[in-house]
Amino acid sequence: MKTQYTAYSILDLALVSEGHTLKQTFNNALELAQNAEAFGYTRYWLAEHHNAPNIGSSATSVLIGYVAEGTNTLHIGSGGIMLPNHSPLIIAEQFGTLASLYPNRIDLGLGRAPGTDRETAQAIRSDFMQAAHSFPNELEKIETYFSTNNASSKVRATVAEGVEVPIYILGSSTDSAHLAAKKGLPYAFASHFATTHLWEAIDIYRDEFKPSKDLEKPYVMAGINIIIAETDEEAERLSTSLIRMIVGIFTGKRDYVQPPTAMTDEFREMLQHPQIYQMLKYSFIGSKAKVKAQVKEFMEQTKADELIAVTNIYDVKDRIRSYELFAEIMKELN
């Protein structure tokens, strides 16, 4: 008998589909979040990316505010803010403001990657590499700005002091697992694309975890790709848009999300390419029954406290339906 409740959430990139405007894209993100709220999801996170035509979540804090305004109970946050791109003071001010507008609903997930290519990272912040290496110190600055103990300092984020904004550490390797454990913070692993170090990172985090004022025991969140439709065949058809996206990443030919086409032998061959196969290892694609069995196995293996579903497909109606079916699965498994 399963005794642990596993929360379920959404990670969104505000994908820009072929033929869609940015306004449509942002409206689709809001529509998805509103449906997620109705389906019982815990949180809806937006990921910071730059210089990618198919990703609309560049101004992450602004989009979080837009989605929070159009929802009522769902936790809205960043999955994540790439902290080396930013001044910790500015992030504290932004999220302090958001949390004052939408109390007890704003999450601050932090990562250390640039969320873009090297040239763009340099354009965002010339000392990016130094900031990335200083990630633990930058994190401490964020915590300081949110603390009321900072009220007597010369440099303050006055709109953040004493405001409740939970911090989550994101990771795609083992480095952040050590940090999250040391700080006693929740840990979200990007296993929806960085699959190699999942097990090692989870073990490190749980073994080294030190309780904090924020968290008494480890809290593991794991990302998975989810595409569910009425039949296996339809889900496979929808997944062709994702396959094209992944191929575009590896070939440097990023484009808007393309409409799905029939699953062909050529697509199946692409899925067997070692890099693509590894990247999509934790991708559960098919009918509700098929995906339910896969998700159940993943939950039993990871014992994750929360699953974060990523559904990168073309049409918002298909995405919403997939997330609806995933919510049904999670309710049945819980």
Any idea what DSSP says for residue 148?
G
DSSP helix/strand/coil, 245: helix
Question: What residues contact 186, with CB distance under 8 A and at least 6 apart?
Answer: 166, 168, 169, 180, 214, 215, 219, 220, 221
Listed in sequence order, the DSSP H helices in 184-264 are 198-208, 232-251
Mind giving me the DSSP string for 274-328? HHHHHHTTTEEEEEHHHHHHHHHHHHHHH--SEEEEE---S-HHHHHHHHHHHHH
Closest among 311, 315, 310 to 258, alpha carbons compared: 315
- For the chain, the farthest-separated pair of C-alpha atoms sits apart, in whole angstroms, at 65
- pLDDT tens, 279-322? 999 999 999 999 999 999 999 999 999 999 999 999 999 999 99
Closest among 279, 305, 282 to 295, alpha carbons compared: 282
Q: In this structure, is the dihedral angle defined by the CA atoms of residues 119, 121, 127 and 129, taken in order, positive or negative?
A: negative
Q: What is the mean pLDDT of residues 124-143?
A: 86
- pLDDT tens, 53-97? 999 999 999 999 999 999 999 999 999 999 999 999 999 999 999
Q: What's the confidence (pLDDT) of residue 305?
A: 97
Q: What's the confidence (pLDDT) of residue 279?
A: 92
pLDDT-derived band at 2, boundaries 50, 70, 90: low
Q: What is the mean pLDDT of residues 17-46?
A: 97
Paired strand residues for 188 = 170, 221
Paired strand residues for 55 = 15
Mean of pLDDT over the chain = 94
Structure tokens at 220: 């593991």
Q: What's the confidence (pLDDT) of residue 4?
A: 82
pLDDT-derived band at 114, boundaries 50, 70, 90: confident
Q: What's the confidence (pLDDT) of residue 254?
A: 82
pTM for the whole structure: 0.95
On the question of pLDDT at 261 being above 60, the answer is: yes
Structure tokens at 16: 């820009």
- pLDDT tens, 144-197? 999 999 999 999 999 999 999 999 999 998 999 999 999 999 999 999 999 999
CATH number of 7-229+283-333: 3.20.20.30
On the question of pLDDT at 1 being above 60, the answer is: no
Backbone phi and psi for residue 188, each to the nearest 5 degrees, phi listed first = -110, 120
Q: What is the mean pLDDT of residues 37-52?
A: 96
Closest among 215, 260, 256 to 241, alpha carbons compared: 260
Residue predicted with more confidence, 252 or 96: 96
On the question of pLDDT at 249 being above 90, the answer is: no
- pLDDT > 90 fraction of the chain, expressed in percent and rounded: 87
Q: Taking the domains of the chain in order of start, what are their residue ranges?
A: 7-229+283-333
